[in-house]
Amino acid sequence: MPHSAIVILFLISLALVTSLEPWFQSWQGNRAQSADLLAVLLGDARRAFANHFFIKADAYFHSGYYPSIFDNRTAFQTPHMAADAGALEEKNTGEEDDFLGPPRDWIDAFGRRFKPASHTHLDHGGAHSHTHSHGNGQPHTHGPAAKEIELGESQDVREILPWLRASAALDPQKVETYTTTAYWLRQRMGKTTEAEAFLRDGLRANPDSYEILFELGRIADEHRKDPARARNLWELALAKWQKFELPKKDPDTFSLLQIASHLALLAERESRWDECLHYLGLWKAASPKPDEIEKRITEVRQKIPTANQAKRPAPNPKP
């Protein structure tokens, strides 16, 4: 008898759920935004976790030698893995080799023996990139990966990927996660297809992201050898930038610099001089070294074969 009651109750519950669910979904008061488990479990805290994992990836990039929140972080404001990837503009200052400063007491001095103690990057071998010298005094590294380490092409950089993946899962709107990951995947790991797929995931979550479009363009240009596709992607990126960044008081000139420079170089390669000059103008406007870009403009003008060189003034991206 008790078992029958339980079964009947279960069936009633099931019937109620199936009949009420459609009504709930169409109800005006339904505020459920996401069916994503992580979003439901963590709420806005997921962004904090995503940021933590992004920083964790940079800590891995440094093989554990990384400042805590109590240390001097001025040399690590922009994660080095992202800066090296071109995903973020580097704003680091100060000493990256000695963020801990001198030991404050004997416990601090003793404790440093049990932690990583030097600044290294994983693409240069990480802990194995410790140079050492034998009798001849020439610093060098050993092992089959030594050549890769010297060229900065060590595949150990793969170790940052799990944390970047976790960061992207937790905060799909964090664009630099996709661009940083894609760079290391394609440049160091030779995984162009995976990089492209990951960027497309990012683009689905951030359809107006000019950074992701730019990075997709780099894949098209550098790996797929498809300049037409690259140009389309970069032009779309530029359009998105102009739509969303131009109206801002402080637009993202770093990204404009990247997009404009690549468009300019591609146009130069393809001898599309008018476009090249146009993009060089944009590049000059965003560059911290406009004189050098001006020199480049002059060189390009000298290359133009016809007498009709339209000198179109570059639009000023700043309001």
Partner 1 sequence: MRAVFTLAHLVIIEMVRRKDIYVLFVLTALLTLIAAAANIFDDTRVVRYLKEISLTLIWVSGFVLAVTSAARQIPAEREARTLFTMLAKPVSRWQFIAGKFLGCWLACGLALLVFYAFFGAVALSRERSLDLAGWAQAISMHWFMLAVPVALALAGSLLWAAPSSNSTLTLVACFGIWLLGRHLHKVALGLPEPGATLLTLVYFTIPHLELFDIRDLIIHRWPPVPWVFWLGALLYAAAYAGMILTGAWLMFRRRPLN
In the complex, the residues that contact partner 1 under the rule CB under 8 A are 60, 63-64, 68, 70-71, 104-105, 107-108, 110-111, 113-116, 126-128, 130, 158-159, 161-163, 165, 185, 189, 191, 194, 198
CA distances from 293 to 28, 90, 124, 283, 300 (A): 56, 20, 31, 7, 10
Taking a C-beta distance cutoff of 8 angstroms, is the pair 177, 168 a contact? yes
Q: Taking the complex as a whole, how short is the minimal distance between the CB of residue 108 and partner 1, in angstroms?
A: 7
Long-range pairs of 144-147 with CB within 8 A, sequence gap ≥ 24: none
Nearer to partner 1, 163 or 273 (CB): 163
Instruction: Mention every residue, 6+ apart, whose C-beta is less than 8 A from residue 84.
Output: 121, 123
Query: How many residues in the chain?
Result: 319
Q: Taking the complex as a whole, how short is the minimal distance between the CB of residue 66 and partner 1, in angstroms?
A: 9
Residue 132: helix, strand or coil by DSSP? strand
Q: Tell me the two tokens of residue 204.
A: 């689905």
Q: Taking the complex as a whole, how short is the minimal distance between the CB of residue 258 and partner 1, in angstroms?
A: 24
Nearer to partner 1, 152 or 227 (CB): 152
Q: Tell me the two tokens of residue 200.
A: 């497309």
Burial track 87-122 (b if 16+ CB lie within 10 A, e otherwise): bbeeeeeeebeebbeeeeeeeeeeeeeeeeeebbbb
Nearer to partner 1, 59 or 82 (CB): 59
Q: What is the Rg, in whole angstroms, of the alpha carbon atoms belonging to the chain?
A: 26
Q: Taking the complex as a whole, how short is the minimal distance between the CB of residue 32 and partner 1, in angstroms?
A: 27
Q: Taking the complex as a whole, how short is the minimal distance between the CB of residue 25 and partner 1, in angstroms?
A: 32
Nearer to partner 1, 165 or 223 (CB): 165
Can you spell out the DSSP letters for 78-105?
A: S-HHHHHHTSS-----S-SS-TT-S-SS
Nearer to partner 1, 80 or 262 (CB): 80
Nearer to partner 1, 53 or 273 (CB): 53
Q: Taking the complex as a whole, how short is the minimal distance between the CB of residue 170 and partner 1, in angstroms?
A: 14
